[in-house]
Amino acid sequence: MTPRARWGGAVALMLASSAALAEDAGTPKAASPLVDATTVVADLVVDLRYATEDNFLKRKVYPDSARCLLLPESAQRLKKAADALRAKGYRLKVYDCYRPRAVQWEMWKIMPVPGYVANPRTGSNHNRGGAVDLTLTTLDGQEVEMPTPFDTFSPSAHHGYAGGTEASRKHREILREAMEGVGFKRNRMEWWHYDLPDAKTRPVLDVPFPPP
């Protein structure tokens, strides 16, 4: 059995166990297998910042094999948003998708501030495959101006921020309209973060990324 096949079996086992626990707890919905978002959104630009040192942790916490994994519902909504944006001359670029719970603990040690980093005891929607951090690019993959860089923990990253350039606010609104238009919910403190509406009904996962 290949490493990737073994990983797939581990994911299935973890998801089945999580689903059983969720059912026992009376959770409305069980988890679905996570999918690689690039298989659903063909032109998705992937820049997983936690697989690099270019993040607020200042260190790499994802392996090189990390992918943008999402619940199927999240991936399908993302596709609809990407389709709408493509017609306007934009593509979507993802910074973070599914995040193992173990990484959530590392983030909490550095930034234990609810609203910016979810408490790993209850879990982040990223840990459920129900959240995505993203921005816009041009059709040729160049990032457009936004009010702040990714993971800027300040009021300038809030959706209500009226400062910055007109272009940055315009791009933030274009992204918001596309994501909310397909049913995602924005995080008011982070212009890049969007959640599946019922993400909190899904089990928190700690499945590692597949091997190379």
Told to judge if 190 belongs to the known catalytic residues of this protein, a careful annotator would answer yes
Per the annotation, where are the binding residues?
A: 126, 133, 193
Question: Would you state the pLDDT for residue 32?
Answer: 55
| Residue 152 token pair | 């800027």
Cα 166 from Cα 182, distance rounded (Å): 25
- 53, 177, 180, 190: the catalytic one is 190
Question: Domains in the chain, ordered, with CATH?
Answer: 34-201 (3.30.1380.10)
Distant-in-sequence, close-in-space partners of 23: CB < 8 Å, separation ≥ 6: 30
C-alpha distance across the termini of the chain, in Å = 14
Tens of pLDDT, residues 42-96: 999 999 999 999 999 999 999 999 999 999 999 999 999 999 999 999 999 999 9
- C-alpha torsion sign, points 49, 50, 56, 60: negative
Per the annotation, where are the binding residues for Zn(2+)?
A: 126, 133, 193
Tens of pLDDT, residues 25-37: 333 344 458 999 9
